[in-house]
Amino acid sequence: MSGSKVPWASLAKSAERVRGRAHAPYSHYRVGAALLTTGGVVTGCNVENASYPLCICAEGAAVARAVAMGRRRWRALAVATPGPEPGAPCGACRQILAEFAPPTLPIALVVDGVVVRRTTLGELLPLAFSGKTLDGSVKEPEPT
């Protein structure tokens, strides 16, 4: 789906709403994600842990929930963070998204319920590691 046909305002509102449910007692950096799938919107929020490596990002939570619901065809993603600058998915979440979505997946970065920037997964994660890499169908360039 083209990014222009996505109901961005509604998706941003969903991401902002679920951001309020985040568990972020340490960083106080609440994040919400709303993943538009062919079966509807699936949301997730970050869940911190005193042992920081055990934290769950909002995007990863939304992906896990969508997969558990059998929704593997995605149309767009909105990520809501506190401002003033929008936050983009972390590197790990970009890789998690790349497991299921094409590089053309439109992504909106949201602050205070407003889309402040639109991008794509491919712009956020060029040269993503994928199953094609593992099966040898992607060839490494010859050294120059």
Give me the tens of pLDDT residue by residue for the chain, a chain 144 residues long.
556 699 999 999 999 999 999 999 999 999 999 999 999 999 999 999 999 999 999 999 999 999 999 999 999 999 999 999 999 999 999 999 999 999 999 999 999 999 999 999 999 999 998 887 787 665 656 654
- Residue 46 CA to residue 63 CA, distance in Å, equals 12
Maximal CA-CA distance, the chain: 51
Residue written as tokens 């997969």? 67
Active-site residue numbers? 59
pTM, two decimals, is 0.88
Report whether 43 contacts 20 (CB < 8 A).
no
Q: Which pairs with CB-CB distance under 8 Å and at least 24 residues apart come from 17-20?
A: 17/43, 18/43, 18/44, 18/45, 18/58, 18/80, 19/45, 19/58, 19/80, 19/81
CATH of domain 3-135: 3.40.140.10
Please give the pLDDT value at position 133.
79
